[in-house]
Amino acid sequence: MPEIGHIKIALTTNSLTRVDVAFTLAQQIVIYDIGYDSAEFLDAVRFTGGSAGKSKGKGGGQGGATDCWMNETDNTGPEGDRLTPRLDACQGCQVVFTKGLSDLAAVRMRDSRIFPVKMEEGRDIDEVITYMQNMMKSKPPLWLRKALGQVTGNPEYQVEKYA
């Protein structure tokens, strides 16, 4: 989990510059760590159904990011499971920005404590990052305050545990 005041987000993309594709159709998911005045690229995960296999090697990203290929040939159904590898790639993120999202994907994200944001139209990744930073600086909604570590329980309403 990122430090307090930072949030780790994932964005679905085919172009590597825009949030421009639905979650299960994404060829890449890029991951950023965002602070109030900073944004750091962490990783890019690419998905392939070809023979590239699953391999991890050092990429050129800042912060020692890896260039990870996730193989989708381990299909469990007639069309294969495109959801699970993408959810696995988003583990550790608090928010996922995507252009489209099925109900099943939204439920599985919620179960993984990831907040999905479905966008009506594609946006540049830089624009999404700026939007998040502006939201963080103003009055963030409850889900964002929780992700930032700003919400703590009120001790008056907490039940003491007895040993």
Which pTM value belongs to this model?
A: 0.75
Alpha-carbon span 4 to 1, nearest angstrom: 9
Q: Which residues fall within 8 angstroms of residue 147, CB to CB, at 6 or more apart?
A: 7, 94, 95, 115
Neighbouring C-alpha atoms within 13 Å toward the C-beta of 23: 27
pLDDT band at 51 (very low <50, low <70, confident <90, very high): very low
pLDDT band at 152 (very low <50, low <70, confident <90, very high): low
Q: What is the CATH number of the domain that holds 81?
A: 3.30.420.130
What domain count does the chain have?
1
Return the higher-pLDDT residue of 69 and 46. 46
Give domain status of residue 32, yes or no: yes
pLDDT of 123 reads 95
Give domain status of residue 152, yes or no: no
pLDDT digits (tens, 9 = 90+) for 74-131: 444 434 689 999 999 999 999 999 999 999 999 999 999 999 999 999 999 999 999 9
Beta strand extents in 103-162 (DSSP E only):
115-118, 123-124
Give domain status of residue 49, yes or no: yes
Give domain status of residue 107, yes or no: yes
What average pLDDT does the structure give for the chain? 79
Convert 10-70 into a string of H (helix), E (strand) and C (coil). EEEECCCCEECCCHHHCCEEEEEEECCCCEEEEEEEEEECCCCCCEEEECCCHHHCEEEEE
- The residue range of the domain holding 44 is 7-147
Give domain status of residue 2, yes or no: no
pLDDT band at 2 (very low <50, low <70, confident <90, very high): low
Give domain status of residue 130, yes or no: yes
Whether the per-residue pLDDT at 17 is higher than 80: the answer is: yes
Q: What does the pLDDT average to over 27-31? A: 96
Give domain status of residue 54, yes or no: yes
Q: How buried is 43 (Cβ within 10 angstroms: 0-12 exposed, 13-18 middle, 19+ buried)? A: buried
